[in-house]
Chains A and B, each alone.
Chain A
Amino acid sequence: DTAVSQTPKYLVTQMGNDKSIKCEQNLGHDTMYWYKQDSKKFLKIMFSYNNKELIINETVPNRFSPKSPDKAHLNLHINSLELGDSAVYFCASRGFSYEQYFGPGTRLTVT
Chain B
Amino acid sequence: EDQVTQSPEALRLQEGESSSLNCSYTVSGLRGLFWYRQDPGKGPEFLFTLYSAGEEKEKERLKATLTKKESFLHITAPKPEDSATYLCAVVSEASGSRLTFGEGTQLTVNP
Are A and B a genuine interacting pair, yes or no? yes
Q: Are B98 and A45 in contact (CB under 8 A)?
A: yes
Q: Are A98 and B42 in contact (CB under 8 A)?
A: no
Task: List B residues 35-74 near A (Cβ within 8 Å).
Answer: 36, 38, 41-46, 49
Chain B residues whose C-beta falls within 8 Å of the C-beta of A66 in the assembled complex: none
What secondary structure prevails in chain A residues at the interface with B?
strand
Residue of A nearest to B85 (CB): A41
Q: Are A98 and B43 in contact (CB under 8 A)?
A: no
Residue of B nearest to A90 (CB): B43
What secondary structure prevails in chain B residues at the interface with A?
strand
Contact of B97 among A31, A40, A105 (CB under 8 A): A31
Residues of A within 8 A of B (CB): 4, 31, 40-45, 48, 55-56, 90, 92, 94, 97-105
Residue of B nearest to A100 (CB): B99
Chain A residues whose C-beta falls within 8 Å of the C-beta of B32 in the assembled complex: 97-99
Chain B residues whose C-beta falls within 8 Å of the C-beta of A43 in the assembled complex: 44, 87, 89, 99, 101
Chain B residues whose C-beta falls within 8 Å of the C-beta of A4 in the assembled complex: 43
The digit string for B17-45, where 1 denotes a CB below 8 A from any CB of A, is 00000000000000110101010011111
12 example contacts (A-B, Cβ-Cβ < 8 A) are as follows: A4-B43, A41-B85, A41-B103, A43-B101, A45-B99, A90-B44, A97-B49, A98-B34, A99-B46, A100-B34, A101-B46, A102-B36
Q: Are A105 and B104 in contact (CB under 8 A)?
A: no
Residue of A nearest to B42 (CB): A104
Q: Does B111 contact A (CB under 8 A)?
A: no
Q: Are A48 and B49 in contact (CB under 8 A)?
A: no
Give the distance in Å from the alpha carbon of A43 to the alpha carbon of B44 in the complex.
10
Q: Are B43 and A40 in contact (CB under 8 A)?
A: no
